[in-house]
Structure 1
């Protein structure tokens, strides 16, 4: 079977066919369901904290609102739900949210977020907005943070430029950490797994006085030698040695003014990409054969100050933030040790951003509610890169070195607003608009000796755009919500700095037209919530990456695409002991006009009607949670997460296919009032899957997903 048609999936245990894996998954889940049913009539119900389906309050729409009354597709996961599912990263978070897929591999630098089929290319601008406590993270290389002391995570699908300071083409991920308050509290969590990976999380909340000044400090430390082995150098591979911390100072200056000052810090140290030739990775998923060991090191510091003013008729908020991120990365790009076939890379990057947001909003229950804001953003990125190549074994030249120095600056100004007009108590019209101006500057100095090419470029580009939004919603007498909406999305153009073309080092903006129809309801005496959304997206002037005949990869506007699908989310509180949550999405995302050169064959091909990369057609998650009182002091906790990821492709040519796979996670433990101990297992069936796959003309390389992992987590709070 040729490389170009190899599926990028297999069972880690070849003696256990996929059909048996599938049957086993459903057998386990069926057993859990039967167990739950048997307990419904016999178990002594115990009062435990559950998500109140009638009052799931979110702030993603920039005002506190019930999620069942928000006329858009939005998901919310609360801190306890993340703890129960042993979620530590946004990749694990994405398994619980429909239409959200995060493809992370190697170090923390590469977190490519796809929403409804729309995502970035290699080292391009993010298509989603990522916010932590109201602060926009402007680079997808800093999305992969440790989730510590989280109050909730909110995910909005579709463009959100009329509500958020930063622009977003496909949606927003909004992380809200816990605010310090007047109640002293200490929380500590320690986990350990069979690969000797250790993770410690701490959170302290203390009032500095009882009236108006409160402090919280949270942090994490993660150490692992890695579960992989580099058999060529006979060393461990995949190590992590990470620490992060966040300090929040909350000051209630007056009855109307609240000030929050936040400082956060990260120091991540780890190995680089665990890539290898596909056949070798499938045969031995826990091994690599690199002759060069790379690193992925990150240091980040962030400061922000948020001022909230609560007026009689108008609320005002100011968010000022500064962030600095440095990354030192090197990798064995050829993923092997073949003489005469060597490709190693190293880069040192520095990213600094400053943003200021002002926002005003009406308050009270009036026929007209409005929100308006101003946003300013500035960032500078500097990169020093070096590539060493020796392709003499494949007839493409001997040892060469390429060096590059790039500086990019980005300045944007935006005015945005949204207005809700209630025609009646049941019928509401929403309209919004964003006026966006973006200026980009780049200075490139790239010496591509291996291609006999020197690129020097110094230029500026400016972009202006008006982005409208319209929605209409109707709330029935039974409080069901029916809505439809249209919004325009946009991603600015810019400068191609990966392997820029001397003749065309720039690319133009990308646009989307988004249509959505949704329905939300509460059933069974408000024990069951259902949210259903159907969407249709047209992408025009799509920014895609193309391979030229001289092996240069450029970003260009060469594509038109469409994405259509349906999403379903539900929660079911059977009683005070048992709860279920289910989410699923089906996405048909295809190119409609896209011609390029195949990365593997170097031949021109028409990719029209091919599926967009990194977009599973079908994905789903079913979580079952149970808490049962054992005596006056102890309770039993059980959690099962069944994650299904449908087939998808890693390339526009649709030659590298990842078949569907299942991840079964489970947890059982004992909980007391001020401590708990949980035994957990992830990927219980040890299913093989590839996180990513590439083919740059020399064969398919891939990185394996995480194997079955058994661990224990203990925690205390008082």
Structure 2
């Protein structure tokens, strides 16, 4: 294997050198095409008001709509190539966001996520629903570190803001049509219409995406892991007066794929490799038809009334998400068992804010109140098929769990900035939160020991209520308008929950509640621009300690026949993370911009006694999905052609993700090697920029890499491979 790999690695290195060298040569030849080299100013709303990114004392990456398009980013996971210390995992059936190595949560309705996702200020909650709203965006903001004082509980690792492009008082239109390999077909369109003399504006967008799968199912004779998604968004902005704005929005999406849980990396009972040809990447032999169907509906009403000294804002939101997921449990051609999952979430939220308007005042503030109501239900069924008789289990026998949780959260919050001197600002924030959760659990099993010891439960109920305080205090020093230095302390809280995931009789006899998790975070940062806005550098170093860290695990039951997994949901003792992060933007020449991003991360379970079961200490293990090094380099080049010929733009992105583990045990079976991806795009813009034709290629060098490994119910090891090379062309018309 080594002898074959070395020439391939050399070829990749040579190809990469040629690409980078070509970009540099192109830059030199076209340097005269632009009048001046200058970086674009980035405006963000990370602190719930519009500010220059360089003035915000937060570690934040902002990706504009243009950058999303140039990088072909249509999913939340696609942001990984442009954002350090940010990762999205789709393993173990649940999409999970990790920021600074901290993620998890969301597998059941009783276990909240650690990263908050917001669409125009409305809490989305489930990361599975986020991809549905990644069209017609103005920008995406990734906030690293706990954001509890402004965003509330369950943002202990950070927050992701999805900000849409608002309707405007001009007629606009855009249509993008794309074709790619694997029969990819993509349409993305938008129209903006002003009405009533500009007092009412309507923006309607829709998107369609289809692609055949990369994975070949030899048993069913199908290509799976396909994409079939549709989405639409309607936005209406009403401005009857200069002081009042009302924004109404509605969105709908549906997503369907036929392979969701990865490929078998072992045989069914993890005693050897899977049977050929399923021992190859992108080949499976599952006999049960699988699919993953997601439906998302949402609506929001945002009101803003300018009262002069202050602005009164109201954000009302509703989200309804449903998922149906069917999986071949034995990951083989055996007719042994399969899973059926049906999940649903309904979320109602209301936020009211009062914000000061004078950005030059010594005292600036935001005061607010927040309410959230979530109703969630899981209905998950494990059914034994014909070969269940080999274990003495009649075909059709079922193990079923059906938890539901009603969650109500109330909060008041505030953020105050006070300018002590012309260059020194005190930043402070505080949030008080009260939350109550009510669990109802029904669980049944037709299968008993020794095959299964799942408990039979009817109408089990439990409830908890808790309050928390999330403070923030910091100092910001701005000696010039181009320099910002800050230091801050923040505390975040992840609410408690319940262990409600296939409970055994032993688990039912113990505590089912999870205690709330807290984090204390310290951060020092520097942001500055130089050389007449041709260089921008943002850097920070952070330290965070998590107490009562909530952990969800799949652990092998010792000496079980057949081999099986137990699900453990516990509070680990302590987790520690720290490291530096840096982002550099440089306008090297007219039309040539370079962005460099890098982060080094230490993420460790400082205390996790009995992490692998009684007497098995995981203290000192690395956190899962926490690579030590993440980095990327992006080169953008634009050159005007001869008069009347338009212009050419190009982007080359090289992203690196270090090795990592996908399991708390840090066992070798769950070790993922480091990998490097190269993505490229070239576009021709017609004179007047009305037409654009682009060609792109992602994973240009055909890197083969894994995204994570996990054990399934029979201890089968399964995992996902990253997508191989994809390429295509797009035509965009803009009015």
TM-based fold match above 0.5: yes
Q: 1:567 to 1:20 in 2, by over 3 A?
A: farther
Could you tell me how far 1:684 is from its partner in structure 2?
A: 1.3
Residues 157-183 of structure 1 deviation map (CA, whole Å, 9 limit, x = unaligned): 112122235651111100111111111
Contact 1:165/1:357 (CA < 8 Å) preserved in 2?
no
Quote how far apart the aligned CAs of 1:344 are: 1.1
Secondary structure at the residue paired with 2:148? coil
The two structures, once aligned, show a CA RMSD in angstroms of: 2.4
Q: In structure 2, which of residues 165, 169, 181 is the aligned counterpart of residue 182 of structure 1?
A: 169
Residue in structure 1 matching 2:441, options 440, 444, 469: 444
Counterparts of 2:263 and 2:51 in 1: how far apart (Å)?
48
Q: Does 1:352 align with 2:346?
A: yes
**Distance in 2 between the 1:477 and 1:131 partners?**
33
2:526 and 2:538 in contact (8 A); partners too: yes
The aligned residue for residue 545 of structure 2 is 538
Contact map agreement 2:113 2:154 (CA 8 A) in 1: no
Equivalent of 1:382 in 372, 377, 384: 377
Corresponding position: 1:633 with 2:645: yes
TM-score by structure 1 length? Answer: 0.92
Shift of 1:540: 0.7
User: Relative to structure 1, is the Cα distance of residues 24 and 80 closer, same or farther in structure 2, using a 3 angstrom cutoff?
Assistant: farther
Is residue 109 of structure 2 the alignment partner of residue 115 of structure 1?
no
Whole-Å Cα distance in 1 between the matches of residues 423 and 394 of structure 2? 72
| d(CA) in 1 for partners of 2:394, 2:477 | 68
Q: Write the distance in 2 (CA, Å) between the matches of 1:49 and 1:267.
A: 45
SS of the residue aligned with 1:155? strand
Q: Is the 8 A contact 1:238 1:274 kept in 2?
A: no
CA distance 1:49–1:32, shift in 2 (3 Å): farther
Q: Does 1:363 align with 2:349?
A: no
* Equivalent residue for 2:663, pick from 651, 659, 679: 651
CA distance in 1: counterparts of 2:520 and 2:384, whole angstroms: 43
Shift of 1:702: 1.3
Find 1:678's aligned residue among 675, 694, 698.
Answer: 694
- C-alpha change, 1:537 and 1:597, in structure 2 (3 Å) is closer
1:481-515 CA deviation, whole Å, 9 max, x = no partner?
Answer: 11111111111111222123312222111111111
Instruction: Please tell me whether residue 429 in structure 1 is matched to residue 426 in structure 2.
Output: yes
Shift of 1:572: 0.9
Distance of 1:521 and 1:24 partners within structure 2: 39
The Cα of 1:712 is off from its aligned counterpart by 1.2
Q: Please list the CA deviations of residues 95-144 of structure 1 after superposition, one character each: whole Å capped at 9, or x if unmatched.
A: 211111111259xx732100011101444311111011111112233223
Task: Report what 2:706 is aligned to.
Answer: 690
For 1:502, the equivalent position in structure 2 comes to 508
| Contact kept in structure 1, 2:331 and 2:716, CA below 8 Å | no
Instruction: Kindly state the Cα deviation for residue 329 of structure 1 after the two structures are TM-superposed.
Output: 1.2
In the alignment, what sits opposite 1:5? Answer: none
Contact 1:676/1:715 (CA < 8 Å) preserved in 2?
Answer: yes
2:611·2:618 contact (CA, 8 Å) conserved in 1?
Answer: no
1:570 to 2:584 alignment: yes
Deviations 1:255-291 (A, max 9, x none): 1000000010012222132522225599522211111
After superposition, give the CA deviation of every residue in 1:367-422 in whole Å (9 maximum; x if it has no partner): 11111110000010122221124786996966541122222100000001111111
Look up the match of 1:406: 403
Contact 1:146 1:220 in 2 (8 A): no
Distance 1:478 1:407, change over 3 A: closer
* 1:214 equivalent among 201, 220, 223: 201
After superposition, the Cα gap between the structure-2 partners of 1:385 and 1:37, relative to the gap in structure 1 and judged at 3 Å, is closer
Structure 1 CA distance, aligned partners of 2:256 and 2:161?
A: 26
Shifted more, 115-124 versus 77-86: the winner is 115-124
Per mean C-alpha deviation after superposition, the further-off stretch among 213-222 and 455-464 is 455-464
Counterpart selection for 1:142 from 129, 136, 156: 129
Q: Mapping of 1:491-530 within 5 angstroms?
A: 491-500=494-503, 501-503=507-509, 504-530=511-537
Aligned to 1:237: 224
Pairing partner for 1:254 from 220, 236, 241: 241
Counting matched residue pairs gives: 697
* SS of residue matched to 2:349: strand
Q: How does 1:238-387 map to 2 (within 5 A)?
A: 238-278=225-265, 283-338=279-334, 342-364=336-358, 365-387=360-382
1-structure distance, mates of 2:117, 2:35: 32
- Structure 1 residues without counterparts, runs of 5 or longer: 1-10
* Cα separation, partners in 2 of 1:58 and 1:568, compared to 1, 3 Å: same
Kept in 1: contact 2:426–2:476 (CA 8 A): yes
Q: Which residue in 2 is equivalent to 1:454?
A: 456
What is the deviation of 1:595?
Answer: 3.0
Q: Distance in 2 between matches of 1:143 and 1:435?
A: 27
CA contact 2:144–2:159 (8 Å) conserved in 1:
yes
Q: CA deviation at 1:239?
A: 2.5
CA contact (8 A) 2:234 2:249 kept: yes
Match in the other structure for 2:113: 126
Displacement of 1:45 in angstroms is 3.3
Match of 2:485 among 482, 485, 506: 482
**Partner deviation per Cα, 1:29-61 (whole Å, 9 max, x = no partner):** 5444444444455425334999844x3211111
Which residues in structure 2 correspond to 1:64-103 (within 5 Å)? 64-103=50-89
